[in-house]
Each structure stands twice: as C-alpha cells, then as structure tokens.
Amino acid sequence: MAKDYNKKKVPESKEVKVKGVVTTLPYTTSTGKKIVLHGLPPMMVERLQAQYDARKPKIPTYIIIDVAGTEEIHDHNITTLEVEGDPVETEKNKKLWDEYVKGTAAIDKESSEAMMRMIMLRGVYVSDYNENGSWIEEQEFLGLTIPSDASARRYHYVQTEIIGDANDLNTIMTIVMKLSGIPEEYLREAENLFQSAMEEAASEGFDSTG
C-alpha cells in the first residue's frame, strides 16, 4: 500500500522554518479549506524532470561546409528550414521540425502533469483527509468515479474537494515549488506549462485519474 503522507504531524497555524528557511506554509483555499503546503524532496523533483528530459526528441540538425571544406553540424531553428532552390529538402526540414516541436510539446505536457501529481500528493497536507469519508458517497451520488488506488484517490480528493478554482491551483503549485527551492528559471517555465493545465481544468474539469 502507498505510504500515507497525511499521517505526518504538521502545525497548521504557522509557517515552519528549518535553519531560517521556510519549509511549510499554511494556505486557505477559495472554498475555505485549510491546508499546509510543503516543499518537495529536491532529488525527487530532479529525477522526475530528468526522466522526461531524456525522452524529449533531439533537435533536428543541418550541415554546412566552411571555406576549408570542413563539415559543421548546427541545430535547426524556425529560420533555417528553407533551403533555397531545393523544395524537397525544405519540405523534409519542415516535417522534421514539426515532429520535433510536437514531440517536445507532448513531453512537456506529460512532465507538467507528473509535476502536478507530485505537488498534490507530496506538497499538500490535509489534516482531516479520510480516504473512506462521507465525501465518497456524495461524489458517487453526483456521478463521479472514485479511484480505488490510495494515491489516485487522494489526488482525486485534493483536486475535487480542496482546490476551488484555477487561482488555488496556481497558488498551490507556485508556493510548493518555491518551498522546494526550485530555480526561478524553471519556476517560470513550469508556470507557463501549468497555465495550459489550468485552462483545461477550467473548461473541461480536473482529470481525477492522474
């Protein structure tokens, strides 16, 4: 059975500091739910990101020959796809570039979703969470399917019972990532990726399956 991280004793009334660094922070959602946000284990975040980075397609390249006759390999970008006088090569470059862009976007989306799961499961503490609580009966009455797996169930609970709106989602993710000490550059990149997730959540509802 998955380890229940909600069993940890965590103060809910104030922030917690370790050697002067804030490691947990209380937060009240738009629906009035009181939770405590935690930083994530740095190595866990790093390994998760590395897994997805390793799956990203390699950027297409092209070869140029310098005045000495030496071949040089360069990465393509959107401005280097056209080959003057060679429509076949141009079309080939555009196809490879399109595959690269779509492949990278797909992996980025998966990475964003995986990071969201990690944040909701390891970065959000809910003191009164009960995996067999009355919320299940109510949700089933509303027509929702409740995951049987413990981790998937808690993820579903946080999404459907704790997060009240897109602002909650954005705030929780941003705070947890900052508590985790994630570099600002990655934080900005992740916020851009999460923006699409929030837009989907607003228009289609949250994915409770993970």
Q: What is the pLDDT of residues 185-209, one digit of tens each?
A: 666 666 666 566 556 655 554 444 4
Mean pLDDT of 140-148: 95
pLDDT confidence of residue 182:
76
Amino acid at 18: V
Per cent of the chain over pLDDT 90 is 55
Residue linked to tokens 């999460």? 194
pTM score above 0.75? no
Residue 50 has pLDDT above 60, yes or no: yes
Measured N-to-C along each axis, helices 87-122 and 166-179 cross at an angle, to the nearest 10 degrees, of 80
pLDDT confidence of residue 170:
84
pLDDT confidence of residue 19:
43
Q: Which tens digit of pLDDT belongs to each residue from 154-175?
A: 999 999 999 998 889 888 988 9
Q: Which tens digit of pLDDT belongs to each residue from 80-120?
A: 999 999 999 999 999 999 999 999 999 988 988 888 899 99
Residue 1 has pLDDT above 50, yes or no: no
Q: Which of 194, 136, 130, 201 is nearest to 163 (CA)?
A: 201
* DSSP structure string for 152-199: HHHHHHIIIII--SHHHHHHHHHHHHHHTT--HHHHHHHHHHHHHHHH
pLDDT confidence of residue 38:
92
pLDDT confidence of residue 69:
83
Distance CA 210, CA 199 (A): 17
Alpha helices by DSSP H, listed for the chain, are: 42-55, 87-122, 134-141, 150-157, 166-179, 184-204
Domain ranges of the chain: 5-53+114-204
Mean pLDDT of the chain: 83
